[in-house]
Chains A and B, each alone.
Chain A
């Protein structure tokens, strides 16, 4: 593929928390329009990788390029403005706020009040569950519904790149399918997706390309198809499930 097709490029990233180095020489590419998944066992550094891209964690060395520009020194606020959305792992909505308020929070970096309400209406049309639970406290929703709210919060920014951390953690298989289908749909409407998953099989089903991490290092990468034929190897890296 052509280089200008690259939306995200990580070159030799080292990163961590204070003295603790978690990511060791990570390089990664995502092309516009792709779904790229990052697989790995607990503690492999997947979340740290997304945090480093988004800028909550600062890399100690290496370069993060987005749409051809070095965003290593760019604030998270500015990254949101430039079209990068980040959906953290875990229950990451604001449980005491209603779905409506959560969606408004998703647009915190925007100031076009009227358009925000319009976008919320549109999202509610697109995802009926949001409409149904619009004025319910997010904390009272089921796990899958909450995940939908979290993804929708990210969509409030109409992102060109979405970083999603383990959206299906702890979900029943049928819900996993539902959430992954929605991510596929978001991707189909033009958003590049970088998704962290522990469920390698399911992730590969929707991905174009995948990386496998272990102990802060990249161990494997390849097209989803290619890696799909190497399930056992991947499972070995993922360890006991």
Chain B
């Protein structure tokens, strides 16, 4: 057994991904490319945060867009009304969404699996309805508009620059993906990650070795909430508009597709799923929106999800590693 090779393995794919993503704009800076790349970053962060709970704890929350939406609305207020800087907005949003996740977790983790999914789905629907009808607070269906764009001031700069071009947004967004990857790896490859796995596989067994299931579920949920809250905050400042539909169910559907088709609970799976399914829609649209309306996309996603659940339970990642193993010849397990 080659230990160093083994322990380096999880870092290969994310590093390759980041290098490609960092270099791509040097070759092609078209609006389309940047749009796709920003989309990839956004969905990867979202999917990684989603997977911390769904893949590692094994509790599928259908309400994660709530943290995104509230983080975004909060930022519209903090940046627009109080003039807080972009990073401050992200941090405050992350903090409050972690707090909200803790409280929500205390309520929702009392119920299990199916009921957990349905409970969180209900919460998402209610939150979206409230956002729709609380017009004074959110602008309702007409959305909150005019969120200020970020101003970047680094130590060596004389005056702050206003971030407004896609390329600027992209390169400021990329470090957030790096941070998310680092957090994801640091948590899941550590002692905490082992505890997550234990809780997912068997709660009673986890308790038997001294792991408190609820505690670790809350840790995962809060971390996920914080990341998604910060993402919502960033996104609000990028598009300057935040609508109730930003918390809609099609976002959760996309997350389910990315994580479960890619491979839940595995970084490589989430990356594969996240990249494929965030690149696909814009390409399909470019090919011809006449043939591929959004409604069809949802139907297609539904069918893919059912197919994968039935025939490919460990996702594309599992399929890929099975094929790789066959190529290398079946190696004996180290004894």
Contacts and interface: CB of A to CB of B under 8 A. Distances in A.
Interface of A: 51, 54, 56, 76-77, 80, 85-88, 92-97, 101, 104-109, 132, 134-136, 153-154
Contacts of A76: 207-208, 210, 212
Nearest to B203: A56
Given A94-B197, A134-B335, A135-B1, A88 B204 contact: yes
Contact of B333 (A54, A104, A107, A136): A136
Interface in B195-212: 195, 197-198, 201-202, 204-205, 207-212
Contacts of A154: 208
Contacts of B197: 94, 96-97
Chain B, interface size category, equals: 10 to 19
A146 to B, nearest CB: 12
B210 A77 contact: yes
A194 to B, nearest CB: 14
Given A93-B205, A153-B209, A108 B195 contact: yes
B155 interface: no
B204 A56 contact: yes
B329 interface: no
A56 B202 CA distance: 13
11 contacts: A56-B207, A77-B210, A85-B208, A88-B205, A92-B202, A94-B201, A95-B201, A96-B197, A106-B209, A109-B209, A154-B208
B208 A87 contact: yes
A104 B193 CA distance: 13
A92 B209 CA distance: 11
Contacts of B198: 94, 105, 108
Contact of A96 (B1, B201, B210): B201
A106 B207 CA distance: 11
Given A94-B201, A135-B335, 8 more contacts: A76-B212, A86-B207, A88-B205, A97-B197, A101-B194, A106-B209, A107-B209, A108-B210
